[in-house]
Structure 1
C-alpha cells in the first residue's frame, strides 16, 4: 500500500486552475522530488500536502488516512522551507526544542530528541550558539533538526538549498542524502534544480503547468524521456534537438533526413507502426552521445565557444543549418573556436514525433 497518495487533486485561485488533476503515490521511506520550471505548481502541490494550502478537489491520503481537509497539525508532517526562520535570540538547542517546549514534552525527552537530531546532523558543537554565529549551511541543518525532533510521518522540503552558494549546496545535498539513509523517512522535496533532483531522488515527478509530464527514477527519465519537455529539462547540459523528416521505414528502423545531416541517418528499432514516410520528427542527442569522427561523420558543426571543465570540454557549436549543438568531449585540443567538427552519433539518438512524444523502440 502506498504511504502517500495524491488522487486527482486540483487547486483553483478564483477562475485560475494551477494544479490540474495531479495523481501520484509514494512508498514508505521513498525520496521523491518534484521538479519543474518556475510556476509549474510544485510548491503549491507541496503546500497542499502539508495543509498550508486548501485542496479544491481530489484527495490526499497519508499512511492510509484521508487528510485532504485536515489541519496541518493533524497531518504528522514536518516542513523545511527555503527560509530558515530561526529565532535570532535563541540558541540552536532552544530553536530545535521550541516546538516540543510549547507542547509541554517532558524535559528529559526534549533533551534526548535534540541531542539525537544534533548527532545525525553533526551540529553537536553548535547547540549553544545563536543563529548569527552560524553559516548558511549550519542554519539550514538547524532548521532540518527542528523538523527531525517532531518525528513526523512525512518530511516536506520546499527548495531548502536555494539560499546557499554553490559549494554549500553540493555539501548539503550530500547531507540530506545521508539524513534520508539514516532515518529512513518518507521525503518529498521540491526544487527547480534538476541536478538536485537527479542526485537525491529515488523517483522524480516532472511538472509543467500544473500537470505531471512524467514520473520515474532519475535513470529512467534521463534514458527514456516521455517527451521533448522532459528530454530538454532533465540533463545538464541539455539535450540537442535537430528537426528531420522520415524518408524511409523498414524492419531495421527509420531513415531520417535533416538539413543538419550530411546523409540520411538510420534510427534502429521497430517503429514502423508509429511513423510514416514524410512525417516530421525531432532527433534528440545528449552531449556525451556525440563523437568527433572524421571517418564517417553524420553532420558538421562549427565551434562557437568551449568550456574547459578540467576532465572534459563542453563545445558549443552550430550545425550547417544554424541549429545550436552541445558536445561533451575529453579531448581538450580537438575543438577550437571557429573549427569545423565532423560528428557522429556514439549512441542512438532519441526520436520524437510531431507532437513531441518520444517514439519508443520495441
Structure 2
C-alpha cells in the first residue's frame, strides 16, 4: 500500500525551476533515500514533504490524505535537520519534551514518551545534561529522540550525519538502521553520500537537476544503472568510463575498439548488440572492484600513476592516454609509478552505454 505519494511535484522560485516534475511513492515502513549532488533539489523536495516549502504544482499525499497545501503541524511528520538545533539552556529531557509541552500533552504522557525514546536511543543517562556536555553523536541522538516522541507518520532526515566525523557517521548509520527496524516507521532520508544511501535504503531515488534519474533498491542501481550518471554516482570508487568505437555489430555480438584494449579491440556477446551500429561511440563502464591486475586474460594495458594503501586493499590510479582508470586491488601489489600494467575483468561485469549515456 502506498503511504507517501508525490505526483508530478514541481517547485519554482520566480522563473527558476528547481523541481521539474517528480513522481515518487513509498510504502508504509519503507526507508527511502534521496541522493544526488549538491543543488539537485533533494532537500527542497524533503522540505515540501514537511510543508516547509510550498508546492508550485502537483499533488502530495500522506497515508491516503492530500496534504499538498496542509500546514506542517497537521501533516504528522517529524524532521531531523543537519544542525542539531537543540536549545542550549535546556536539559536533554526538556529538549525532547518541548514539542509535547507545546501540544499540551499530560505530564505523565510526556514523561512516558521521553523515557521510551531515551531507552530506544540508549541516552537514558544523559537526560539531565545540557547540550554543551554532549558529543556530536549524542546531540544527534537527542535530535532524533525529539522526533520519536511525537509518534509521526513519517520521519524526515535532512543530511543528519554531515556534521559528524567519519567514525561517528559509521556508528550513527548503524543506529539509524536499527531505529528503522525497531520502529517500523516510514523514513525519507536525504544525503549526498552514496555510501549512506547504499547502506540504509530499501529504495534509492537518484536525483539530478530537479529530475529523477532512477529509482530502485541499492542492488538494482549498482547492478543495473539506467545511465552513466547513476553508474558513476552509485559505487565507491566511482565507475571507470572509456569511449570505444563500434567496429563490428550484428544481432548478438559487438566489436569495440580502444587504444587501451590489450588486443586493440574487444568482442562482446551482448543482448542489446543489435541496437548499436558500426561507427557508433559507446561508453564502456568498468567498476574498480571488478578489475583484476592478476587476471590471466587481460583486457586493458595501462601505465601505473600512483597507489593508495588502504590496508587490506590498494587503490591503484593508472592512465591510458588522457583517461584515468581506478583499480581496487586486494592486498598490496608492488607497483612503481610509470610501470606498465594490465588488468582483466569478467565480461559479465562490463557495462555499455549509448552515445546519449543510456544503458545499452
Q: What TM bracket, shorter-length normalisation?
A: over 0.9
Corresponding residue for residue 236 of structure 2: 236
TM superposition shift of 1:337: 2.4
Residue in 2 aligned with 1:274? Answer: 275
Where does the alignment leave 5 or more consecutive residues of structure 2 unmatched? none
Q: What whole-Å deviation, never above 9, does each CA across 1:280-334 have from its counterpart, x for those lacking one?
A: 1000000011112474322211111111111111101101x23100001114134
Indicate the SS of the match to 2:17.
Answer: strand
State whether residues 251 and 274 of structure 2, in contact with CA within 8 Å, keep that contact through their aligned partners in structure 1.
Answer: no
Deviations 1:162-202 (A, max 9, x none): 11111111111110000000000000000001111011000
1:266 Cα offset (Å): 2.0
TM-score of the pair, normalised by structure 1: 0.97
CA contact 1:225–1:358 (8 Å) conserved in 2: yes
Structure 1 distance, partners of 2:147, 2:93, is 13
What corresponds to 1:292 in structure 2? 293
**Alignment partner, residue 44 of structure 1:** 44
Structure 2 distance, partners of 1:12, 1:299, is 47
- 1:251 offset after TM fit, Å? 4.7
Residue 271 (structure 1) shift = 1.8
Name the SS for the 1:341 alignment partner: strand
Aligned residue number for residue 352 of structure 1: 353
Residues 254 and 271 of structure 1 are in contact (CA less than 8 Å); yes or no, is this contact kept in structure 2? no
**1:273 match: secondary structure:** helix
Matches within 5 A, 1:313-328: 313-319=314-320, 321-328=321-328
Runs of 4+ in 1 over 4 A off after TM superposition: none
State the distance in 1 between where 2:175 and 2:273 align: 48
| C-alpha deviation, 1:232, in angstroms | 0.7
1:96 corresponds to which residue? 96
TM score, norm. by length of structure 2? 0.97
Secondary structure of the residue aligned to 2:305 is strand
Structure 1 equivalent of residue 26 of structure 2: 26
Contact 1:292 1:344 in 2 (8 A): yes
Give me the whole-angstrom Cα distance separating, in 2, the residues matched to 1:272 and 1:113. 60
1:125 counterpart residue number = 125
Once the two structures are TM-superposed, the CA of residue 246 in structure 1 deviates from its matched residue by 1.0
1:259 deviation in Å?
Answer: 2.2
Check the 8 A contact 1:306/1:336 in 2, yes or no. Answer: no
Structure 2 equivalent of residue 310 of structure 1: 311
Alignment of 1:63-78 (within 5 A): 63-78=63-78
Q: Distance in 2 between matches of 1:343 and 1:31?
A: 38
- C-alpha RMSD of matched pairs (Å): 1.2
> Counterpart of 2:104 in 1: which secondary structure?
coil
- Structure 1 unaligned regions, length at least 5: none
Task: Give the corresponding residue for 2:330.
Answer: 330
Counterpart position of 2:164: 164
Q: CA separation in 2, counterparts of 1:298 and 1:339?
A: 17
Counterparts of 2:295 and 2:73 in 1: how far apart (Å)?
A: 65
Task: Summarize the Cα distance change of 1:96–1:248 in structure 2 as closer, same or farther, 3 Å threshold.
Answer: same
Where does 1:166-315 land on structure 2 (aligned, <5 Å)? 166-262=166-262, 263-293=264-294, 295-315=296-316
Residue in structure 2 matched with residue 143 of structure 1 by the alignment: 143
Aligned residues: 358
For the residue of structure 2 that corresponds to 1:73, the secondary structure is helix
**Hey, what's the Cα distance between the residues in 1 that align with 2:118 and 2:84?**
16
* 8 Å CA contact retained: 2:158, 2:191: yes
State the match for 1:80 in structure 2. Answer: 80
SS of corresponding position for 1:292: coil
3-state secondary structure, aligned to 2:278? coil
SS in structure 2 at match of 1:3: strand
